[in-house]
Chains A and B, each alone.
Chain A
Amino acid sequence: MPLARLIPCLDVAHGRVVKGVNFVGLRDVGDPVELAKHYSDGGADELVFLDIAATPDDVATMTSVVAQVADVLEIPFTVGGGVRSTEDAIRIIESGADRVSLNSAALADPGLITAIASRYGSQAVVVAIDAGDGVVHTHGGRVATATKTIPWAVEAAARGAGEILLTSIAHDGRREGFDLALTAAVRDAVAIPVIASGGAGSAAHVAAALRIADAALVASIVHENPSGLPGLRDEIEALGIQLRPMKERS
């Protein structure tokens, strides 16, 4: 089994990183390219870029950001937020992203999962689920749908998703730990890997999530102290979770 993964998530709007990143030591904190490189050097196993504005114009902007990031980053990265069609996915992936993350677009048209997976393979398609009270939410977690969380995860996997990015709305942003019961329920229902998201406030929280899920998404815990990523990794490892060994460039 591959090692547990620690995945910082960067929120992007109109080509700039927004909210929550603490700026010590960075020349331009809004620059996705500089931040990506910084986290990569600090030991991120992957990165997720989430376009939180995602107007139709933003796909073009995001494509250009993706190309610049791909030129400097030597770890995998996923792009989500503005991917509404196979064409969007092609543009993002051909620009250098490893994977796209689908959320409400997959709910509206589950066939989109299959279309992208058959072109690039399942590993290129993440389905993001914002879950609360047993059902899937849209619009950044504000609108509840009638779709139940677990059956949707199962359907997404059956249609070709290569990973579930599972966010607990109730836990997100509170920094009191992940929703471990929900994470375990989804993990047990599917045979594809699961990324736990929402609630990371400490190394202990992340370690607890990584005992259940294949990866953990982290945001404010690293953004508030971007130079603290290596230390966070050490703390997680001290709690018995093995992460990838860091190799210095010779």
Chain B
Amino acid sequence: MSDIAVVDYGAGNTRSVRAALAHLGATSVVTSDPSLIKGSTQVVLPGVGSARSAMEHLHATGAAKAIRERFDDGGPILGICLGMQLALDTSEEDGGVEGLGLLSGSVYRMSEGRVPRLGWAQVDPWGETYYFAHSYAAQSNDSVATSDGVTVAIERGSFLGVQFHPEKSAAAGLAFLEQCLSRA
């Protein structure tokens, strides 16, 4: 079995995530197979796509249930961008979508500054600069980091979600992914 299951939800740029993981010497497989999602050492829920079609895909394949069970068992899960947002209860995207509800909170459309929020920005209190590309953002009591006042990382139990794209954040992003892989 591969070290890492990158969850396939029908859209999403899984290739870049896999390339970054390969760079770190980790083998990964793109899958929506519930047994792989439950059994892999690590699970990555990648970004890019629309919330509604992502959730429909996750439910249709049984991946949603497998992610929930993995979370309840304490298996590590990394959510990236949309993959972070899907872990919350609800999203305003696509006229309102129910998420996985692993963490409590919601996703709202940003209105301050230029939207989409595109580019490199510092994440506090971590102090590193990563690449962002998003129009929606999380609101959650499980916020652990912000950027320009926006929640950009949420964590509860074995789930860590980040709004930025570590796979697109050059050396800083690879270092972040390397740290994530070492989470047991």
Contact = CB atoms under 8 A, between A and B. Distances in A.
Given A96-B15, A193-B118, A118 B167 contact: no
Contacts of A118: 50
A27 interface: no
Interface in A21-65: 40, 45
Interface in A206-250: 214-215, 244-250
A163 B15 contact: no
B120 A2 contact: yes
A138 interface: no
B135 A75 contact: no
A191 interface: yes
A40 B170 contact: yes
B59 to A, nearest CB: 19
A123 B129 contact: no
A248 B171 contact: yes
Contacts of B114: 1, 191-193, 214
Interface residues of A, number: 42
Contact of A74 (B132, B148, B167): B167
A72 interface: yes
A114 interface: no
B135 A122 contact: yes
A54 to B, nearest CB: 22
Interface stretch (B70-78, B96-104, B153-161, B172-180): B172-180
Interface in B136-181: 148, 165, 167-175
B49 A121 contact: yes
A98 interface: yes
B174 A74 contact: yes
Report whether over half of chain B's contact residues are helix, strand or loop; otherwise say mixed.
mixed
A121 B135 contact: yes
Given A2-B121, A120-B48, A74 B116 contact: no
B9 to A, nearest CB: 13
B119 interface: yes
A229 B174 CA distance: 22
A247 B171 contact: yes
A2 B167 contact: no
Interface string A189-207: 0011100000000000000
Contacts of A247: 128-129, 170-172, 175
B15 A192 contact: no
A84 interface: no
A71 interface: yes
B65 interface: no
Given A74-B167, A162-B116, A124 B15 contact: no
Nearest to A43: B170
Interface centre among B134, B167, B170, by most chain A C-beta atoms within 10 angstroms, is: B170
A122 B94 CA distance: 13
Interface string B107-118: 000000111111
Given A70-B16, A96-B13, A247-B172, 17 more contacts: A1-B148, A3-B121, A74-B19, A74-B23, A74-B168, A74-B170, A75-B169, A75-B170, A93-B13, A118-B50, A119-B11, A121-B116, A121-B134, A191-B115, A193-B114, A245-B129, A248-B171
Interface of B: 11, 13, 15-16, 19-20, 22-23, 48-50, 53, 82, 113-121, 128-129, 131-135, 148, 165, 167-175
23 contacts: A2-B118, A2-B120, A2-B148, A40-B170, A45-B120, A70-B19, A74-B20, A74-B169, A74-B173, A75-B131, A75-B170, A76-B131, A95-B15, A98-B16, A121-B49, A122-B116, A162-B116, A162-B118, A162-B133, A163-B118, A191-B115, A244-B120, A247-B175
